[in-house]
Structure 1
Amino acid sequence: MSGQLGAIIRAVVFILLALAACGVIFEFAGYSAFQMFHSIVDGAFLRRNALEHALRWALPLFITATGVVISFRAGYFNIGAQGQFYVGAICAAFVAEWLRGYPGGVVIPLCFAAGMTGGALWALWPGLLRLRSGADEVITTLMGNFLAGLLLVYVTAGPLKDPSGSGQQASSRPLEAAYRISTSNGVSPTIIGIAILVGLAMWWLVNRTAFGVLSGLGGRNPTMVQWQGASTWKIGLASFLISGALAGLAGTIELMGPNGRLAGGFLPAHGFTAVLIALVAGLSITGAAIAAFFFGGLASAALYLPVMAGLPSAAIDIVNASIALFITARSRLVDTLTKAWRRPWKTS
């Protein structure tokens, strides 16, 4: 517990450093850093319905981030959550379209099953390439994101195209009201319940099962896993499948919840933000819940930046990129500072 607390404190410190760096950048660009921070805090957490708006983005981000945590803990850097998110939504949309007119009690579970299966299968092929031939999963999963993006464009402009659309943006037909699990605000007891169940299940998997122990050990020292008589191949494959299934589940929630339809290129940064959340959380499920709420607040605050601070909403992307830079560099920086601190004492 003390180790996890220390990791959270270090993450908070580096996030504050990243925000300070953003403040300096915006000041030099002619904007008010104070107004920026005030707008972010106010828009994310203090305004009326701020909690609801933050949860709208935080819940699917948390579900996807837990899958990223599982794969990263096992030592496999699945950067393809965005593509798995898209494919899960696409598979669920096809099921909803094919079964249009059937009762929601039948269609909704089938859509969730299709979405999770689609996400898992989209994670399976880079997983097999990594485990069978040693192909770099960072490259293959990243390329999978682009392929899934093109697939989304194809289905929304082709097989699932809404014939009554304006043509300004390719999209599918709206889902029937009986198949929706939330309104456009994206928060409902169903979505909250799914997120809680996923969080509890993944926490139990990581902390209370042999898979969780062996996958965490395998991420640090695969040889030790083999000495325990376990199969690194099975652990790796399971981590890819779980990660992809959870990203596909988040895509299904977006489709059947706030979006209500597929649209070309929707939420293009979702998967990458989930990776950032997993890193900020120190690959902890509990930490991922806290980090997801924080980044959900940032996404909500993007709506207020143009009005309150005169900043474009894309400023939140700069904030996220700065946090990513500082978080990914933190271990190296901590080691450097620790060595620099100890060196004078060793020479004295």
Structure 2
Amino acid sequence: MSGRLVPVLQTGAFIVLALVLCSLIFLSVGLSATGTLSAIIDGAFFRPNALNHILRWGLPLLITAVGVIISFRAGYFNIGAQGQFYLGAICAAFAAEWLRGSPALVAVPICLLAGMAGGALWALWPALLRVKAGADEVITTMMGNFIAAQFLVHVTSGPLKDPAGSGQQASSRPIDAAWRISESTGSSPIIIAIAALVVVFGWWLVNRTSFGILSGLAGRNPVMVTWQGAKVQRIAISAFLLSGALAGLAGSVELMGPNGRLASGFLPDHGFTAILIALVAGMSVIAATLVALFFGALTSSGLWLPIMTGLPSAAIDIIHASIALFITAKAGALRGLLSWFRR
């Protein structure tokens, strides 16, 4: 059996096991397992305009997940994608305020670049703490998520507060309609093009450049890479910056596209779902494209379930958590069975 096919089968088996576990959970609380899973599938793939909704939720996740893959492959567990996503959106919102009245051809690229810069800067300080002081990047980046969430509350209820807001949720003023790169309910050719460029760039970077090769080696054996003369600290900082920049780009895409404004606490699970996508995809940029669309479909279904079936959207969170459980635990018995089948 092809060595490349085994990880695909293994991941598929983990997802099936996760769905089995979810079925048992649904049964334990009095829900129909088959009815619930059927409703989730219908909401994900067969609802009206399903593809548009899948792209709306899946493409921003894909952009962030590619950045996560870059840092994870280098051996640095950047868990701060959520905070970098928020800082990207915040910087893009400030840029949008400063550029009000400018033409869209000027304002939109600057806002997107501002988002990338914000995400990269929010990833820089954990990178420096890691390479200069040996601080655990899991702890620092996770703490960065909480700081960024509070900073988001501050700017949406302070410097960027919409004076015409209802007061029910702190938010900024809406983005100029001419600057919006998609409608609120879906995706657009511009967002698809941005995501495609990110995928091509990510694949090229990790597979066809010296940085990608060295970072992959450093992630497995940093001592050996150091003996070969590579600058491990430079690899680390570059991986963090690229990861943060892509998360920030996803934040600015959300702001300029579907959301249309900055709001406190928006998409609180975005970064963590992107990390799960990277893990499920086995750190493959191409596989992450399919996995991100799958998780985009699940997210879309979560919004559909309470309206059409009365099922709680928490059913989707249970599926996410179950997949994470099996992917991270790696289900040793199943892995052994697949190894036997391969032999």
Both structures adopt the same fold (TM-score exceeding 0.5): yes
Alignment of 1:92-241 (within 5 A): 92-241=92-241
- TM-score by length of structure 1 reads 0.95
Shift of residue 254, structure 1, vs aligned partner: 0.2
Structure-1 residue corresponding to 2:318: 318
- 1:88 and 1:252 in contact (8 A); partners too: yes
- 1:35 and 1:309 in contact (8 A); partners too: no
Shift of residue 227, structure 1, vs aligned partner: 2.3
Change over 3 Å in CA distance of 1:3–1:212 after alignment to 2: farther
Post-superposition CA distance 1:49-92 (Å, at most 9, x none): 11111111000000000000000000000000000000000000
State the AA in 2 paired with 1:91.
C
Structure-1 residue corresponding to 2:70: 70
Which consecutive aligned stretches of 4+ in structure 1 deviate over 4 angstroms post-superposition?
331-339
- 1:77 and 1:137 in contact (8 A); partners too: yes
Shift of residue 105, structure 1, vs aligned partner: 1.1
State the AA in 2 paired with 1:33.
A
Post-superposition CA distance 1:125-184 (Å, at most 9, x none): 001101111100000000000000000000000000000101010000001112111111
Change over 3 Å in CA distance of 1:5–1:336 after alignment to 2: closer
Change over 3 Å in CA distance of 1:2–1:239 after alignment to 2: farther
Post-superposition CA distance 1:320-345 (Å, at most 9, x none): 01111111001655567789x8xxxx
**In structure 1, C-alpha distance between the alignment counterparts of 2:180 and 2:338, rounded to whole Å:** 52
Shift of residue 305, structure 1, vs aligned partner: 1.9
Unaligned runs of 5+ in 2: none
Task: Please tell me the root mean square deviation across aligned C-alpha atoms, in Å.
Answer: 1.7
How many pairs are equivalent? 341
Alignment of 1:35-74 (within 5 A): 35-74=35-74
Shift of residue 186, structure 1, vs aligned partner: 3.2
Change over 3 Å in CA distance of 1:334–1:140 after alignment to 2: farther
**In structure 1, C-alpha distance between the alignment counterparts of 2:202 and 2:333, rounded to whole Å:** 30
Alignment of 1:258-273 (within 5 A): 258-273=258-273
Residue 302 of structure 1: SS of its match in structure 2?
helix
Residue 163 of structure 2: SS of its match in structure 1?
coil
Q: Which moved more, 1:305-314 or 1:216-225?
A: 305-314
Shift of residue 311, structure 1, vs aligned partner: 1.8
**In structure 1, C-alpha distance between the alignment counterparts of 2:31 and 2:272, rounded to whole Å:** 27
Q: Which moved more, 1:326-335 or 1:297-306?
A: 326-335
- 2:6 and 2:338 in contact (8 A); partners too: no
Change over 3 Å in CA distance of 1:24–1:309 after alignment to 2: farther
Change over 3 Å in CA distance of 1:224–1:152 after alignment to 2: same
**In structure 1, C-alpha distance between the alignment counterparts of 2:333 and 2:216, rounded to whole Å:** 24
**In structure 1, C-alpha distance between the alignment counterparts of 2:85 and 2:127, rounded to whole Å:** 16
1:30 and 2:25 matched:
no
**In structure 1, C-alpha distance between the alignment counterparts of 2:331 and 2:30, rounded to whole Å:** 33
1:286 and 2:286 matched:
yes
Structure-2 residue corresponding to 1:256: 256
State the AA in 2 paired with 1:280.
V
- 2:10 and 2:335 in contact (8 A); partners too: no
Change over 3 Å in CA distance of 1:40–1:158 after alignment to 2: same
**In structure 2, C-alpha distance between the alignment counterparts of 1:226 and 1:95, rounded to whole Å:** 40
Structure-2 residue corresponding to 1:79: 79
**In structure 2, C-alpha distance between the alignment counterparts of 1:178 and 1:280, rounded to whole Å:** 37
Alignment of 1:296-307 (within 5 A): 296-307=296-307
Structure-2 residue corresponding to 1:344: none
Shift of residue 310, structure 1, vs aligned partner: 3.2
Change over 3 Å in CA distance of 1:249–1:228 after alignment to 2: same
- 2:108 and 2:179 in contact (8 A); partners too: yes
Q: Which moved more, 1:307-316 or 1:247-256?
A: 307-316
